[in-house]
Amino acid sequence: MEEVSETKPAGVKYVIVLTKADKNIKGPNSTNAGKLSKDVLEKVKKAIQNNNVAGTPVVLTSAETKLGRDDIWRYLRTAAEF
């Protein structure tokens, strides 16, 4: 994240994609699927703060549950139009 935030051209935005969201919390079920553990959430928040990229979207994804798939496609379409 640090390297990207330092080297990306002005005006270029990026998205933070966290994969395996169905496995972030032990014992995933319908009530916690797609949620981040407190440890992971704190690490992501700290990385965003340390790299001055506040406002960067964070997308949780899971190939198994298809979580985040539509969001990723939306960002890819936006990037392709740019």
Tell the residue number behind the tokens 């990037």, with chain if given: 79
First to last CA, the chain: 22
- DSSP element (H, E) containing 18: strand 16-18
Determine the average pLDDT of the residues in 12-16: 86
- Residue 81 has φ and ψ, to the nearest 5°, of -80, -20
Share of the chain above pLDDT 90, in %: 24
Residues 28-61: pLDDT tens digits?
555 555 677 788 888 989 999 998 888 889 999 9
Q: Is a pLDDT exceeding 70 seen at residue 7?
A: yes
Contact between 69 and 19 (Cβ < 8 Å):
no
